[in-house]
Amino acid sequence: MRIVGLTAHRYDLPLHHPIGLSTGLLTTRTGLILTLATSTGLVGRGDVAPLPGFSAESLPEAEAGVRALAEKIVGRTAPVDPDASGMWSDRVARWVWRLELPASVMTGLQAAIVDLLAVHRGETPAQTLHPDASSEVRVNGLLLGDADHVLADATRLRASGFRAVKLKVGRGDVAEETRLVRSVRAVLGPDVALRLDANRAWKEDEALTFARGVEGCDIAYIEEPLRDPSRLVSFSRRSGLPVALDETVSERAVEDLERWRGVRAVVLKPTLLGGCEFTLWMARRAINAGMTAVVSACFESGVGTAGLACLAAALDQPDVPVGLDTYRWIAEDVVEASLDMSHGRLRIADAVEAMRAPLSAHVRLIPLP
């Protein structure tokens, strides 16, 4: 597969509501749409979207990585056999990782390669990653904001058909947070799974107080409640509250999953992990260890979110809702056709069609070598 062109379009997409991050309020989502072209006329897209405060690299550093990538691969033959079965041979893996790119750039590159192969084979990227990929994914609704907004949104998500939601906690007084969790559970009723995400907010005694406060709320799991993640398994045993790994995975501190026996789920964010290859590897290891693997977004564009949906579908866990609802915060997209997950589901064919649609006026071409 000879790469004859690489283009990058910068996007600056306004958000419906500001998002509070450790670096401050995020009001605009920025990134790059990476497009690869081959000598046979194939075109594939990926999203390069470092998230401030979470990604190791900044957007300027990602742009520098894309320029370096263009110098390394344009005009050269990638060791990818479009007609071979499977996606990541050892040869392809060595070639990709030898490029030494920032995680977000690696994510965009791998997504574009998968898309190229899918176009060649006349299939979706999900099928390229796994021949028996699901045709749709369930979507986990995301609750952010003040109590009134959260409760109104929870009511809407339940009425729209969502069967799982995630509530951000750990941002205020523990007693207030437990009251909010109880109120959200009452709104959702017993048929909607409730996940929590604390982003390492608490000391262990605070987390235990919180766990006692939400007892009986049927929590699916809570992501990273402790500032000291090494205590997660023992905390779960003490509190009876199921826990999930998130930041710990992004830090690549999970090479030995055996030590995390007792963790309910592993949240996987390809933009932070460095693409589909490592994410798939981690997901399979987690599933083999009896954990649930949950693919999750970082407020990527429609191109990036569609790629994540394909990756989640390739895990063939049709009943596991995935974290794609960050897309709802994006007010304007890089493609004209928006992704529709308004009823708690996203059809893969529709996502791929949107991902390959013409780019909108909200992108601008950036110069590359």
Q: Which of 72, 166, 203, 269 is catalytic?
A: 269
Task: Give 204: exposed, middle or buried? Use CB within 10 Å, 0-12, 13-18, 19+.
Answer: middle
- For residues 363 and 360, give the distance between their C-alpha atoms in angstroms, rounded to a whole number: 6
Confidence (pLDDT) at 19:
87
Confidence (pLDDT) at 7:
96
Cβ partners under 8 Å of residue 178, min gap 6:
210, 213, 214
In this prediction, residue 253 has a pLDDT band, given cuts at 50, 70 and 90, of low
In this prediction, residue 57 has a pLDDT band, given cuts at 50, 70 and 90, of very high
- For residues 187 and 182, give the distance between their C-alpha atoms in angstroms, rounded to a whole number: 9
Does the annotation mark 72 as catalytic? no
Confidence (pLDDT) at 252:
67
Could you give the C-alpha distances from 17 to 76, 84, 182, in angstroms and in order?
43, 45, 25
Give, in degrees to the nearest 5, the angle at Cα 178 between 250 and 296: 25
Cβ partners under 8 Å of residue 186, min gap 6:
none
Confidence (pLDDT) at 184:
98
Could you give the C-alpha distances from 47 to 9, 243, 334, in angstroms and in order?
10, 30, 10
Confidence (pLDDT) at 200:
94
8 A C-beta contact, residue 218 and residue 194 = yes
Q: What letter represents residue 358's amino acid?
A: P
Closest CA to 314 of 281, 271, 350, 273: 281
Confidence (pLDDT) at 88:
65
Does the annotation mark 203 as catalytic? no
Q: Which of 72, 166, 168, 203 is catalytic?
A: 168
**Radius of gyration of the chain, Cα coordinates, nearest whole angstrom:** 20
Which comes out higher in pLDDT, residue 98 or 102? 102
Strand, coil or helix: 86: coil
Confidence (pLDDT) at 205:
96
As a whole-number percent, the residues of the chain with pLDDT over 90 amount to 79
Share the mean pLDDT of the chain.
Answer: 92
- For residues 99 and 97, give the distance between their C-alpha atoms in angstroms, rounded to a whole number: 5
- At 184-225, the pLDDT tens digits run 999 999 999 999 999 999 999 999 999 999 999 999 999 999
Name which of 72-86, 209-223, 239-253 the model is least confident about. Answer: 72-86
Confidence (pLDDT) at 1:
83
Full DSSP string of 217-277:
S-EEEEE--BSSGGGHHHHHHHH---EEESHHHHTT--S-GGGGTT--EEEE-HHHHTSHH
Cβ count within 10 A of residue 7: 17
Cβ count within 10 A of residue 361: 8
- For the residues 309-331, what does the mean pLDDT come to? 95
